[in-house]
Amino acid sequence: MAYQSHFVHADRIIAHLGSLRGPTLDPLLEAKYVGFVAVACVTVFEMAIKEILTTFADKKHQVLGSFIRHSCERMNGRIQLDSLKPNYIFPLGLKYKERFDKKIDQTARTTLRTQRRDIRASYKNIILWRHGFAHSATIGTATWTEVVQAYEDGKEIIRCLHESLVR
């Protein structure tokens, strides 16, 4: 799946910065690492989402592909589920939005039951943390572990999107 190639960028950043962490790391520097990772993660989410949407639309029709590509140019980090669904998925057809909702609900229930985490909340949080760091250099109370876990949960959201837009 081509969209997953975008994750390599953030995966490498996490691996590298993770190797630099330790008990002697200045807490302020660690907070900057957390913010930088949040920015990288949300960036790759946006790239993956754009690829999924444009690939799907191109397969449907050349004109739809051009329209979606143009719409995605204005995405600029607006990838919260509350924005993604009405602005990018619903215009492709109600059945795709319903599939997406169903896949997210199933995955969220499974993850909540097995890992005690809400992937929707994690996805929303990492986007909020990215926004805080990118626009005011703050990350709030997020920890390294929380950001990395939210990234992994966000990958599940992106997987659900990809699986929902299969013809």
Q: What is the pLDDT of residue 166?
A: 81
What is the reported pLDDT for 138? 80
Specify the pTM. 0.93
Could you list the residue range(s) of the whole structural domain that residue 113 is in? 2-165
Q: Please tell me the distance from the alpha carbon of residue 38 to that of residue 143, in angstroms, as a whole number.
A: 11
pLDDT of residue 67: 85
CA-CA distance, 88 to 50, in Å (whole number)? Answer: 10
Residue 127 CA, chain-centre distance (Å), reads 8
pLDDT of 27 reads: 84
Contact assessment for residue 104 and residue 160, using Cβ atoms and an 8 Å cutoff? yes
Q: Which pLDDT belongs to residue 148?
A: 97
- Give pLDDT, residue 74: 82
Per-residue pLDDT, 157: 97
Instruction: Return the pLDDT at 1.
Output: 67
Please list the ranges in the chain whose pLDDT falls under 70.
1, 167
Q: Domain count of the chain?
A: 1
pLDDT value of residue 71: 85
Question: Per-residue pLDDT tens for 105-149?
Answer: 999 999 999 999 999 999 999 999 999 998 887 877 899 999 999
| Long-range contacts, stretch 101-105, CB < 8 angstroms, 24+ apart | 103/160, 103/163, 103/164, 104/157, 104/160
Say what the pLDDT of residue 43 is. 96
CA separation for the pair 59, 87 (Å, rounded)? 19
CB atoms within 10 A of CB 25: 12
